[in-house]
Structure 1
Amino acid sequence: MKCKTMKHGSIGLQCMMLAFVFAVCFTGCKDSKDETSAPYDPNQPVEVTDFTPKSGGGKKKMIIYGSNFGTDPSLVSVKVGGKEAIVISAKGTSIYCSTPESCFEGTIEVKVGEQTVIASEKYQYEPQMVVTDLCGDVDELGQGDIVETGPFDNCGKIDYPFWFSFDPQHPNILYLSQNDNERPLRILDLEKKMIYSKKLNDIKRATTITWTNDGDMVLATPQTGNSKNRNNIILKRGSSVDGLDFKESSWVALTRGNACNGSMVLPQTGELYFNYRAEGKVYRYNFEENGYNNNPEVPKGEGLDDLLAFSVPNQTVDFSMVPHPTGKYVYIIMHESHYILRSNYDDETKKLVTPYIVCGQSGQADYKDLVGINARINRPGQGVFVFNEEYKAANKADWYDFYFADRENHCIRVLTPDGVVSTFAGRGSASSTCYKWGKQNGEVRERARFNQPTALAYDEATKTFYVGDWGNHKIRKIAREQASDDLSIEASDDNQNQGNQ
């Protein structure tokens, strides 16, 4: 009987222990559930204990941990670096939000009801590549005044931007051609933030801009008519204290003919390569040896067989040429045929050879980030070569990517030396609309939009892109965000204080 009593007592003790454990677990689960679903209690303190991620850019999804946040997002506001974050939801012990752009200072401030709490740690903001407006002023209908000379913040609209080119002797001066009837050459002084105009009398259109080895300017000027027309003109450099060396220059015919909308000077030889779109041919002419008055007439001049460099697959389409910084090859942008060719330079013959396709396909206008001929582009515009540090570090043969405006896809694309095409900027701001054009500024991929970007330039010294945004009548800028001077000084002081601790 004694043993039986002990046995029953042991069972009773076990039951009591199980009931206690169950009660604790049930109470813990109930309390946890209450914490995440309980409404905000103004009589209890709001606490912030942690957040993630600790660093990043704008538009990052952030979770802030703590207590007494409630479940009503309308009662909750979050500031990061003094800027309003977008609060998505609140669940008692956590707040889900999106970080604001350019929140450099990094302080996280949470307000629930009338209570405000500041996190003990700052968000380490990482500057992003963003799109902003440089100049160009129009209303919602795209209407605006034409201002020949003025500051960037009051320069009127920018019409028909086609081709950018930096002055090789004055890196703060950027020239822009406007591909329309009798439009002037625009001159942007990036240092003074001023825009000027240079009239080209008797020139109907001007497209590409290139430079002789001596620093004179050559413009392709497609004229209608006969072979006596000038199709390339040259402006001889003057001198000025303000860097506007061509403001008093008069143009001189360099080559003659019609239907030339693309030319370039090949750095190794100093020869001018220029196209004849009607037949899809590219000619070369050494004007440094033959002078400025012995102009060949295309297509009816004598001795043109010696001047013919190569032909492209398509006739009667616009195309232009961009030499690689090393001169080893040239990219040929087939604007109306939706692909890009490459022509290599032959050191023995000192000529460019027959080109081949590196991306896209003739007549296949579309949008696809793929490799080589499988990629799809739609009316590519101007392109620029951009140095890539990673390629140099990896000891690759080619250290440059090719960035180009993809006009009808409303974005800026990248072509690597291996033929990979990807999207660098534009087509952001996801919404219910299927259209990918617009004029939004912000982070290059998630937010920014363009409307038929056509002209493109790159400043290696400042790592800045300039975009001629045709449909928006603006010049846009792509660069890494920079904090204000005050914030830079504050961040420097914070780092110094941390180092002294």
Structure 2
Amino acid sequence: MKKLTLSMLLLFSIFSCNKDGETNGGEQTKPIDINRSIEVTDIKPKEGGLGTGVIINGENFGNDTSKIEVYFNEKKALLLKVKPTVIYAMVPKQPGDLSEIKIVAKNVAKPLEAVLKDVRFQYHIKASVTTVAGVFNVSAVKDGPALEANFKRPSFVAVSDDNIIIVSDDDAGRVAALSLQDNKVYTLSTDFSYPWQSSYTPDQSALFIAERTTASKPILFRGLYRNKNWLEPVPFYDQKDNNGNYILGTETIVGMTADQEYVYLITSGAKKLVRVHQQTRKVELIGEKLNLSSWSYLAFNKKDGYVYLASEEWGRVYRFDPKYTPAGNDKPWIGNGQLEHLIGTGRGKVREGVGTSAQTGSLSGISCDADGNVYTCDFDNHVIWKIDPQLNATVVAGTPGVSGYKDGIPKESQFNSPYGVYATSDGILYVADTFNRVIRCVAIQ
């Protein structure tokens, strides 16, 4: 069971075969036959937790993941691959102690569905940390099978709902993709100078990756798009103000995030905060000379519409409303009065708590899940923090103050200055464990 969970090693090993032992060369390719019923006959394994890989056998599933849905009770599972007689999927978060398995055909001329009879999937609450890509302590550039691939310095990650993990390998000037379905790492682009923090739009149609250094200027960031298979990065450029000066100029971009309409960037020392319209590409200054530490990182929380900010030097978390527009202004303007201090008393050793009673070390990457929880990396203390909507700040993974490399139980695991974290909609965290040179997966319930 443990080997199936999250790392999906068993699923990766069997993707080349169907239930009858066919190889990919003879893979079934029949679409759903709307004149036949769907049948579901078995699921393996019959128990597990969040992220467990399952194999569902049956008939008339087709071969298109966009036309099939799998439900554990009323919670939809993530599909990895569909063949006419087998579905590969991942167990969703907390569907119930015992789950009825239902298969539904959608986007077809005739609605079809089937339920697995006389079998219920038993759900276990559990938590684990696993390595999903990279070789421990090897700093290099190498594509290939996930656990044989290398990263020079993986700093940030962004994860799509179809389990494609985009890695900013900043010292290599490289953006890589890790496909959990194919268990492979491959280079997407070497067009970047220093690819840095990245962010999907809420609908995941686009991914934006910041260019950190002045060497790339006037390029601010690049956009990758789902309809182009995340290839051919499109540069977004700085623009000049009314005095003929570039709005960001030579400032170092340290944090970025995106909502559905804008990309937000913050520079070193919080000297400038800008937004860039994704369609018109207009660059607007919406804040400057904010009272923050030298480096800050951003995350858009679609649950409440705020942008959350992790302050590296001060060990604090803030938030602001990116739409706040003072009276008499025709666009937002974020001043120090709009920064709401949520977590942290100042950089130091780990102290869990509520609101400003909690104490963290230096914070970097920050991300928000679908429930509004906020996660951030503490690279001083080598841990991952969770901040819930009630501002309870707790360590969810890593051993406080201990730098190392260890998978397993989250609070017994070890990281080495993790920099980037990204939360999927189903509650799984992916971490750029920067100085271990690997990508880790944290499943917490």
**Which residue among 409, 413, 417 is the counterpart of 1:448?**
413
Q: Which residue of 2 aligns with 1:152?
A: 146
Q: 1:308 aligns with which of 264, 273, 286?
A: 286
Q: Which residue of 2 aligns with 1:51?
A: none
Determine whether 1:415 maps to 2:418.
no
Say if 1:251 and 1:126 are closer, same or farther in 2 by CA, change over 3 A. Answer: closer
- Residue aligning to 1:90: none
TM-score by length of 1: 0.55
**Higher RCO (CA 8 Å, separation ≥ 6 residues):** 2
| Cα offsets for 1:281-307 (capped at 9, x unmatched) | 31223352xx34x6x5xxxxxxx6xx3
CA displacement at 1:207 relative to structure 2 = 1.0
| Partner Cα distance (1:408, 1:278) in 2 | 19
Would you say 1:175 and 2:175 are equivalent positions? no
Q: What letter corresponds to residue 198 of structure 2 in structure 1?
A: I
Aligned residue type for 2:249: G
Partner Cα distance (1:459, 1:214) in 2: 11
Matched with 1:359 is 343
Matched, 1:184 2:174: yes
Between the two proteins, what is the percent identity of the paired residues? 19
1:51-450 superposed matches below 5 A? 128-138=126-136, 142-143=137-138, 145-147=140-142, 149-156=143-150, 158-167=151-160, 171-180=162-171, 182-201=172-191, 203-211=192-200, 215-224=205-214, 229-239=218-228, 245-247=229-231, 249-255=232-238, 257-258=249-250, 259-267=252-260, 270-288=261-279, 291-292=280-281, 296=283, 307-309=285-287, 311-314=289-292, 317-346=294-323, 351=332, 353=334, 354-362=338-346, 364-387=347-370, 399-427=371-399, 436-445=402-411, 447-450=412-415
Residue 196 of structure 2 aligns to a residue whose secondary structure is coil
Partner SS for 1:471: helix
For residues 1-36 of structure 1, give each alpha carbon's deviation from its aligned partner in whole angstroms, at most 9, with x where no partner exists: xxxxxxxxxxxxxxxxxxxxxxxxxxxxxxxxxxxx
| Cα deviations by residue, 1:253-289 (Å, 9 ceiling, x for unpaired) | 333633112222233xx1222113245331223352x
Report if aligned partners of 1:234, 1:254 keep a CA contact under 8 Å in 2: no
Q: Secondary structure, in 3 states, of the residue corresponding to 2:353?
A: coil
Q: Once the 2 structures are TM-superposed, how far is the Cα of residue 173 of structure 1 from its aligned partner? A: 1.2
Q: Name the CA distance, whole Å, in 1 between partners of 2:304 and 2:444.
A: 29
Please state how far the C-alpha of 1:355 moved relative to its aligned partner: 1.0
Separation in 1, partners of 2:291, 2:425: 33
| Local SS of the residue matching 1:373 | helix
Measured in 2, the distance between the counterparts of 1:457 and 1:368 equals: 23
C-alpha RMSD of matched pairs (Å): 3.1
**Alpha-carbon separation, structure 1, partners of 2:200 and 2:223:** 9
CA displacement 1:185-229 (0-9 Å, x = unmatched): 01011111111112332x321112124578233221122269x52
Structure 2 CA distance for partners of 1:438 and 1:345, relative to 1, 3 Å: same
In the alignment, the residues of structure 2 paired with residue 205 and residue 219 of structure 1 have an alpha-carbon distance, to the nearest angstrom, of: 10
Distance across 1 between alignment mates of 2:302 and 2:270:
28
Asked whether the equivalents of residues 193 and 215 of structure 2 are also in contact (C-alpha less than 8 Å), the reply is: no
- Whether contact under 8 Å (1:382, 1:456) holds in the other structure is yes
Structure with max Cα Rg:
1
Between the aligned partners of 1:436 and 1:346, the Cα distance in structure 2 is: 40
* Separation (CA, whole Å) in 2 of partners of 1:357 and 1:474: 32
Q: Structure 2 counterpart of 1:218, which letter?
A: F
Residue identity matched to 2:212: P
What are the equivalent positions in structure 2 for 1:21-60 lying under 5 Å apart? none
Separation (CA, whole Å) in 1 of partners of 2:315 and 2:170: 19
What are the ranges of 5 or more consecutive residues in structure 2 without an aligned counterpart?
1-48, 50-121, 239-247
* Equivalent-residue separation in structure 2 for 1:198 and 1:384 (angstroms): 23
- How far apart are 1:475 and its partner, in Å? 1.2
AA matched with 1:264? T
Distance 2:393 2:126 in 1: 21
SS in 2 for 1:257: coil
Mapped pair 1:471 → 2:443: no
* Structure 1 residues 327 and 159: CA distance shift in structure 2, 3 A: farther
**Equivalent residues of 2:318, 2:341 under 8 A apart:** yes
- 3-state SS of 1:365 partner: coil
Distance in 2 separating the partners of 1:154 and 1:265 = 32
Q: How many corresponding residue pairs?
A: 307
Q: Name the aligned partner's letter for residue 208 of structure 1.
A: Q
Amino acid at match of 1:471: F
Show structure 1 runs of 5+ residues with no match: 1-56, 58-123, 240-244, 297-303, 388-398, 429-434, 482-501
Contact in 2 for aligned 1:411/1:450 (Cα 8 Å): yes
Structure with greater helix share of residues: 1
Measured against aligned partners, the alpha-carbon deviations of 1:320-359 in whole angstroms (never above 9, x if no partner) come to 2111123421111112331111113557777475212111
- What TM-score comes out, normalization by structure 2 length? 0.62
